[in-house]
Each structure stands twice: as C-alpha cells, then as structure tokens.
C-alpha cells in the first residue's frame, strides 16, 4: 500500500467515525422546537438552529477532514481549498440538520440551511488552516522523512 492510499484509507475511517457519531447523536437527541421569533439577522437564526440540533456541529469536523483531503490531493491546487470547503459545506449541511430545526416564520428553510453550511465551511477552513495544517507541518518537520513533504513544498 503506498502512502496516498494509506492516507485515503485513514480519511475514510475518520469520516466513518464522524458519520457514526452523527447517527448516535441524532438518535439520542431529538430536535427541539425552535421558537417562531421573526428576525432579519441570519446569524441569530443559525444560532437558534444549532442550539436545537447539536448533531449539526459534526458538520464542521466532517468539513475539516474534507479540507485536509483536498490539501493532500496533488491535482487540486491549495488555493481552491476555501472555495471547495465553503461550497461543499453549504451543499451538505442538510445531511446533518433538517428543515424542522429552522423556525417556521422563514418560508425557505433550505436557504437558511445552505447559509449555515457555508458558515460552517468557513469555520472548518479556518480550523484547517490555523490548527490542522500547523500540526501536520510540525509533525512532518519532526519526522525528518523526505517523503513527508506537502504538494506545495515541491513547487
């Protein structure tokens, strides 16, 4: 097994753990009714929606794994990581949260879920860039293995 297949296998296992944890949290903690308080502030809507469904916080962890995989893929340029992570977050947030967690005063709950997913994608990208990438760089420097270079270090 070469190094790239090991990384993909490990990432697949991590995503499986995240999905299992999501299922466990979703089954043990039913969604709480969201109060129907109309407001124009989308961040307040997101805050109430996350409070009513804490399993949706796993979406950020899932997107951190996606950002790490994109960063390790040689044929995708690293400057596209934020774009892919944010758009993928917006498109997949409905997997972690349902439209029942959005207040009924909003006629389009899919738009609220998409914007929440984009914000969680932005948080995941910031976490990837500030924490995970630094930890990977530190571990690669400490190992001293010349095969442990990133795709950007060879440019």
CB 50 within 8 A of CB 7: no
Domain boundaries, the chain: 42-149
pLDDT for residue 120:
86
Whether the pTM exceeds 0.95: the reply is no
CB 101 within 8 A of CB 31: yes
pLDDT for residue 66:
85
pLDDT for residue 87:
92
């Amino acid at each position: 097994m070469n190094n790239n297949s090991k990384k993909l296998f490990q990432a697949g296992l991590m995503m499986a753990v995240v999905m299992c944890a999501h299922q466990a949290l979703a089954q043990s903690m039913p969604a709480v009714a969201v109060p129907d308080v109309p407001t124009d502030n989308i961040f307040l809507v997101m805050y109430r929606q996350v409070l009513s469904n804490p399993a949706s916080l796993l979406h950020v962890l899932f997107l951190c794994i996606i950002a790490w995989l994109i960063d390790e893929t040689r044929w995708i340029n690293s400057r596209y990581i934020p774009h892919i992570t944010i758009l993928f977050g917006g498109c997949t947030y409905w997997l972690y949260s349902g439209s029942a967690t959005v207040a009924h005063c909003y006629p389009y709950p899919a738009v609220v879920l998409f914007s929440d997913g984009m914000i969680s994608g932005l948080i995941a990208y910031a976490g990837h860039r500030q924490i995970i990438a630094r930890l990977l760089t530190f571990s690669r420097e400490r190992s001293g293995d010349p095969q442990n270079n990133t795709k950007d270090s060879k440019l």
